[in-house]
Amino acid sequence: MSKKKGQIIVLDVLFAVVLLIFLFFIVSKLAEVKIYENISDARAEELEEIGSLVYDRLVNNPLINCYVADSNNYYLLRSCIAEDSEIKKEYLGMPDNYKCKVTFDSLSVMPNECSDDDTDVEEYFYIKQNIFTNNERQINKAFHKQKVLGTSSYASEEMTIKVWRDE
């Protein structure tokens, strides 16, 4: 009887050890998944912040947007892009490890440093925005009054911004 009892105790201990090892692997796998989720969330949050920064600096930037010129004053026109606007990455505050693509329906802006190849990009910040356009960045005050008061209006088109991390 004592020999059988000893075998049962050994089997119980062996089963407990196997169960502990199994539980250890399950806990380590869960921890790995949680760490991966945290890293993914942090990267997505960073991408959102950089994309929002690029968008804000593109539609509200005295180095890119149109402005109304008076005799001594200049007034920035938000969300106005002209053909002679220069879209440079340094104006947008983009880190070196990010790329961007800014496209317009018909407006041709040169130079446009945000014309990187976006094929095979999986994670990106993307926004479409209606903007108004003009031939030149500097707009005469009388011309602007004419546009605002309704005798004519600025041309409008859709701008697309795409920002992603360069892997």
Q: pTM for the full model?
A: 0.77
pLDDT at 128: 96
Quick check: 146 pLDDT over 70? yes
pLDDT at 141: 87
List phi, psi (to 5°) of 152.
-155, 175
Where residue 2 falls among pLDDT bands split at 50, 70, 90? low
**Rounded distance between C-alpha atoms, residue 120 and residue 161, angstroms:** 16
pLDDT at 142: 85
Whether the link from the prior residue into 111 is cis, omega within 30° of 0, is yes
Percent above pLDDT 70 for the chain: 95
Cβ atoms of residues 124 and 116 within 8 Å = no
Q: State the burial class of residue 102 (Cβ atoms within 10 Å of its Cβ: 0-12, 13-18, 19+).
A: buried
pLDDT at 111: 87
Percent above pLDDT 90 for the chain: 63
* Sheet with 125-134, side-by-side order of all strands: 98-104, 155-165, 125-134, 74-82, 65-69, 138-140
Read off the pLDDT of residues 51-108 as tens digits, 9 standing for 90 and up: 999 999 999 999 999 999 888 888 999 999 999 999 999 999 999 999 999 999 988 8
Domain boundaries, the chain: 1-167
Which residue is listed with tokens 């009054």? 145
Triad 43, 93, 69: Cα angle to 5°: 145
Mean pLDDT within 143-162: 86
Lowest-pLDDT choice from 43-52, 61-70, 149-158: 149-158
Summary mean pLDDT of the chain: 89
Where residue 32 falls among pLDDT bands split at 50, 70, 90? very high
